[in-house]
Structure 1
Amino acid sequence: MPVIRIEMFEGRTADQKRACAKAVTEAWVATCGGTPDMVTVIFTDVAKHDWATAGRLASDPKPGS
């Protein structure tokens, strides 16, 4: 049973997550086999101030802005 975790900035709607879960599930089944009921997708919403790349918070203004 695969568990697919998706971490992303908060703000997506339930409809967007529903469509994403469907697409990811279909891609898994098409690529790796199995059935959709085997696939679990877990979304984790992360605030921009809790996400950093290259030492800079995503909530910080872009350099030069």
Structure 2
Amino acid sequence: MPYINIKVTDEGVTAEQKKALIRGTTELMVKVLNKTPNTTFVVIDEVNTDNWGIGYEQVTEIRGK
């Protein structure tokens, strides 16, 4: 029972893009590890850019430059 957790910033990821991520990561598990799609869980967490840091800065600050 694979559990896949995808974290992305909350900057306009569409429902269609999320569907594609779920489908694509599930298909990867099926092809590479022979997992059953019905027991493969995919969770997408959208993280506010204030809560995501790279180096010493928040992504919000980096994107503002």
TM (norm. structure 2) is 0.88
1:1-65 to 2 correspondences below 5 Å: 1-10=1-10, 11-61=12-62, 65=65
Structure ranking higher in helix proportion: 2
Could you tell me the percent identity over the aligned residues? 29
Question: Cα RMSD over matched residues?
Answer: 1.2
Structure with greater Cα Rg: 1
Question: 3-state DSSP class of the match of 1:59?
Answer: helix
After the TM superposition, which parts of structure 1 deviate over 6 Å for at least 4 consecutive aligned residues? none
TM (norm. structure 1) is 0.88
Q: Is there any run of 5+ residues in structure 2 with no aligned partner, and where?
A: none
- The amino acid across from 2:17 in the alignment is Q
Give the drift of 1:34. Answer: 2.0
